[in-house]
Amino acid sequence: MQKANSGHASTGATGGLAYAPLRDPPKCVVKCLDLSADVPSLTAREKECICWVAKGKSSWDIGAILGISEYAVEHYIKIAMKKLGTGNRMAAAKKAKQLGLIEPQFC
């Protein structure tokens, strides 16, 4: 049984169908799927602070754990929030976890 020619393929000398090669996907599709370009880079200290935020620690607690001041912790968290485009520390922790930047179980 021969397939009908739908206009997408041409018949060869043997009567069979010869299909045209597939084209590359549109650039907009490739760009949308490239998630690595949208992942911000956090410093090691920013990651540490956000990781502890994800575990529910206060800035004071994080400072005591890391041996830095509460104000330094707040600074690192603020910078991470800005890089991640979030409005609060818990949203930053959630987004960092979703992006694979932190793993709270390893803090």
Per-residue pLDDT of the chain (107 residues; tens, 9 = 90+): 555 555 555 555 556 666 656 676 555 444 444 455 588 999 999 999 999 999 999 999 999 999 999 999 999 999 999 999 999 999 999 999 999 999 988 87
Does residue 101 contact residue 42 with C-beta atoms inside 8 Å?
yes
Model confidence pTM above 0.75: no
Topology adopted by domain 40-106: Arc Repressor Mutant, subunit A (1.10.10)
Q: Where are the domains of the chain?
A: 40-106
